[in-house]
Amino acid sequence: MAGGGAATGRPPGRPARLTGIGAGVLSVLGTLAFGLLDHWLFGSLGLLFEIGFLLVCFQTAVRVRLADLPAAPVSGPLAFALTVALLDPVTVPGVVGQVLSLCAGLALRAAWLFAGTGLAALIVAARFVAQRRIRRGR
């Protein structure tokens, strides 16, 4: 059943919720998938990767359980950094070159990194406030 029910153990119409680890896995796999697709289609990390990162951050923040809300804004930047570290070309050999390449890749894409993290943080904050108001109303 796609909408829930007796087979899934949740009320009909309610989406499945992610645990903190599930949010991290979704962030890493989703961001890496968009990065690989962008790298495969265009040869480097570009706009497809960055917009995909925003979509992954949105979905992670919307689907994470209330008990694991802080996992959404934390897992996005980690997935972003991992994808940049794995897929961005390294021009200087060695560990120092890899660190410099990662720093440069993150600095060049900082606006997208902050936008995705901010989006996830806003959604998480809104869900937290809404849940507190619901509990106070009971």
List the structure tokens of 125: 């904050």
Neighbouring residues of 51: CB distance < 8 A, sequence distance ≥ 6 = 34
Task: Give me the pLDDT at residue 1, please.
Answer: 42
Distance of CA 38 to the CA centre of its chain: 16
DSSP 1: -
Q: pTM for this structure?
A: 0.86
- The tens digit of pLDDT for each residue in 43-63 reads 999 999 999 999 999 999 999
- The tens digit of pLDDT for each residue in 105-138 reads 999 999 999 999 999 999 999 999 999 988 887 7
Q: How far apart are CA 134 and CA 46, in angstroms?
A: 41
- The tens digit of pLDDT for each residue in 54-110 reads 999 999 999 999 999 999 999 999 999 999 999 988 888 888 989 999 999 999 999
